[in-house]
Amino acid sequence: MTSPKPTRPKIPRTHSAKDKNKAGAYRRMFWLVTGAFAVILALYFVAPKAGLSEPPRNDSPPAEDYSKYWTKEILAEGDGKTYPQKGDTVTIHYTGTLDDGTKFDSSWDRNDPIKIQIGVGRVIPGWEESVPTMSLGERAKLVISHQAGYGTRRVGPIPPLATLNFEVELLGINDKSVPAKEA
| Residues identified as active-site | 94, 104-105, 124, 150, 166
Give 172's strand partners: 91, 177
Of 143, 111, 138, 113, nearest to 127 (Cα)?
A: 143
DSSP 42: H
Closest by CA position to 88, among listed 34, 128, 36: 128
Alpha helices in the chain (DSSP H): 17-45, 107-110, 125-130
Q: How far apart are CA 98 and CA 106, in angstroms?
A: 12
Q: Which residues of 112-136 are buried (b: 16+ CB within 10 A; e: fewer)?
A: ebbebebbeeebbbbbbbbbbbbbb
How many C-beta atoms lie closer than 10 Å to residue 62's C-beta? 11
